[in-house]
Amino acid sequence: MSKEIIHTYKNIRQQTEAICKPLQIEDYSIQVVQFASPAKWHLAHTTWFFETFILKNYVQNYITFDADFNFLFNSYYNNVGDRILQTNRGNMSRPSTDKIYEYRAYVDAKIQELLSAISDTKIIELVTLGLNHEQQHQELLVTDIKYMLGHNPLFPVYDEDFNLIKDTNSNTESIKIKAGIYKIGHQGDDFCYDNELGVHKVYVDDFEINNHLVTNGEYLEFMASGAYSDFNLWLDEGWSWVNKNHIKSPLYWHNIEGEWHYYSLSGLQKVDKNAILSHINYYEANAYAEWKGMRLPTEFEWEIAAQQLHWGKRWEWTNSAYLPYPNFEKANGAVGEYNGKFMSNKMVLRGASVATSQNHSRPTYRNFFNPTESWQFTGIRLVK
């Protein structure tokens, strides 16, 4: 058991560093926008998580790597004390990147030591939570790096081979689900987040859900129809967002001499009409569905249909607000701040994306973002 968890621990921790391989030192510290953190911060914060919730509590006479790091690398845990403002994460050239890698090595050694010595369910649970937490940050690392490089006028390449997935799923049939009562929520003993728990019944009516996600080509038709100027397609707040920000296309798209391009992690390239649409926010997803005379699935419909769907290529906007399941229970203390406190003004996304870590998602997984956000790899699946 401890061998297995140590093995997993090593793999996942190394995977985070592998993501940073193509970076130059200068890339580690930049924060372009409040919601996207510097790579250095992700590397440190995920490490701080293990130090704070495990080493400080379970290792006798544990010597903190650096007393200042709690202030610098706490993300949003009020129970763990004051922290640097999120907007200021990019102001910190120090500690240096090297120092952060030292920090990682220090904590990694201590965790492995602890896991070798002790086989305590509570510790293993916390390590598992920390690893899932780290996997979430791996995805954020990729998307935050993309945001930083994609907003650099030089459009630097991150990795020549980081390809956009094409929609090889030419199967355009849809799946029909019968009305009835279904069980929703995570069952079994595998790891899941607290927001997936509380298995409960929901009634859903007959519905028919597409097996394929919307492609760039389809979205270009929507754009060509004048959709970004047609208020009737948009939610009121979506229409304000379009106008205030002069939106005319998805994030990362640039019209260069009449032709649509987008920034990808392999550089600036022409929009591939057959590839799956990405980087749209909830308002855009909703407007597209409106234009098609269809709608987005609820998160329950999605979960019920999940077994039959080809999913995993893009986070898919649902038309469900992120709210607690019946009987949702928040853990005590800092760990309880993980999910529950974000349950307002957010919409649920289901599925997984090209940036999601392997084995990290599942049919009951509830991802959530503000309706304005589109820097994740987010797409559209429609329902009739």
Residues that bind its own copies (CB under 8 A): 24-30, 32, 40, 68, 71-72, 76, 78-79, 84, 90-97, 148-149, 151-154, 156, 181, 200-203, 205, 231-232, 234-239, 282-283, 286, 295, 319-321, 323-324, 326, 336, 341-345, 371
Contact criterion met (CB below 8 Å) for 62 and 56? yes
In what helix (H) or strand (E) does residue 238 lie, and over which residues does it extend? helix 236-244
* Beta carbon of residue 75, minimum distance to its own copies (angstroms, whole number): 11
R_g of the chain, CA atoms, integer Å:
22
Closer CB to its own copies, 11 or 91, in the complex:
91
**Alpha-carbon torsion 224, 230, 236, 237, what sign?**
positive
Closer CB to its own copies, 78 or 359, in the complex:
78
Burial of 45-71, coded b for 16+ CB within 10 Å and e otherwise, reads: bbbbbbbbbbbeeebeeeeebeeebbe
Residue 287 phi/psi, 5-degree rounding, is: -65, -40
How far apart CA 43 and CA 20 sit, in angstroms, is: 9
Closer CB to its own copies, 77 or 365, in the complex:
77
* Beta carbon of residue 203, minimum distance to its own copies (angstroms, whole number): 4
* Beta carbon of residue 343, minimum distance to its own copies (angstroms, whole number): 6
Closer CB to its own copies, 92 or 223, in the complex:
92
How far apart CA 124 and CA 6 sit, in angstroms, is: 10
Nearest to 218 by CA among 263, 265, 280, 163: 280
* Beta carbon of residue 326, minimum distance to its own copies (angstroms, whole number): 6
How far apart CA 275 and CA 277 sit, in angstroms, is: 6
Closer CB to its own copies, 169 or 372, in the complex:
372
Closer CB to its own copies, 108 or 337, in the complex:
337
How far apart CA 200 and CA 189 sit, in angstroms, is: 17
Q: Which conformational region is residue 90 in: left (phi greater than 0), alpha (psi within -120 to 50 degrees), or beta?
A: alpha
List of residues 6+ apart from 8 with CB closer than 8 A? 131
Q: Which residue carries 């372009």 as its tokens?
A: 32
How far apart CA 215 and CA 313 sit, in angstroms, is: 12
* Beta carbon of residue 248, minimum distance to its own copies (angstroms, whole number): 18
- CA distance from start to end of the chain: 47
Closer CB to its own copies, 42 or 313, in the complex:
42
* Beta carbon of residue 332, minimum distance to its own copies (angstroms, whole number): 9
Closer CB to its own copies, 139 or 144, in the complex:
144
* Beta carbon of residue 217, minimum distance to its own copies (angstroms, whole number): 27
Closer CB to its own copies, 155 or 191, in the complex:
155
* Beta carbon of residue 243, minimum distance to its own copies (angstroms, whole number): 11
List of residues 6+ apart from 241 with CB closer than 8 A? 247, 281, 283, 372
Beta bridge partners of 267: 264
Closer CB to its own copies, 5 or 233, in the complex:
233
* Beta carbon of residue 337, minimum distance to its own copies (angstroms, whole number): 8
* Beta carbon of residue 299, minimum distance to its own copies (angstroms, whole number): 11
